[in-house]
Amino acid sequence: MAASEILIRPVTAHSPEIMVCARWRAGAFPDVLGASVDDECRRLNDFIARDDGLALIALCNGEPAGTCLLAPKEIEPCHDLTPWLAGLYVAPEFRKRGVGAALVHAIEDAARQRGHRSVYLYTDDAEPFYARLGWTVQERLDWHGFPMALMVRGV
């Protein structure tokens, strides 16, 4: 496969990319978000307008390939920590090309630039992926009957 050019940039409010990200998020995280695509579109626009976080989109050879958020808060169980890497998603046809790792690094860079020293995330099944990128488990917990890890990365 030819090398992919990966470009990461912020998603701007009311851009066509909002709908792409909303569709991915509603499809990938139905249990957590419980939102329709239209709901998720509204939520993303509100999130961007609040300006206390960051929504990123990855373009792979110019095509939308994935998304990730830097968010001040995360879902329950509401650990009193900030900021959070949330909603990492890479479209299946773009996986295993480094897009996920590039998004994680971009979120870490953004957190550092905003003066943070650590970033946190919850994951149920992607712990090995994050561990390869230098994240460690801070706590294991039960989320509505599912095992979940709270992971941390110094930035």
Using CB under 6 A, list all residues that contact ligand COA: 28, 88-90, 95-101, 123, 126, 128-129, 132
Nearer to ligand COA, 41 or 90 (CB): 90
Please, what is the minimum distance in Å from the beta carbon of residue 30 to ligand COA? 12
Amino acid at the residue 124:
D
Secondary structure in 3-state letters for 105-150: HHHHHHHHHCCCCEEEEEECCCHHHHHHCCCEEEEEEEECCEEEEE
Please, what is the minimum distance in Å from the beta carbon of residue 67 to ligand COA? 9
CA count, 13 A, side-chain hemisphere, 23: 9
Cβ-closest residue to ligand COA?
A: 100
Nearer to ligand COA, 49 or 144 (CB): 144
Please, what is the minimum distance in Å from the beta carbon of residue 127 to ligand COA? 8
Q: Are strands 84-90 and 136-143 parallel, antiparallel or unpaired?
A: unpaired
Tally of CB atoms within 10 A around 26: 19
- Closest to 36 measured CA to CA, from 56, 22, 46: 22
Residues 6+ apart with CB under 8 A from 136: 151, 152, 153
Please, what is the minimum distance in Å from the beta carbon of residue 40 to ligand COA? 15
Please, what is the minimum distance in Å from the beta carbon of residue 154 to ligand COA? 19
Nearer to ligand COA, 97 or 153 (CB): 97
Nearer to ligand COA, 14 or 140 (CB): 140
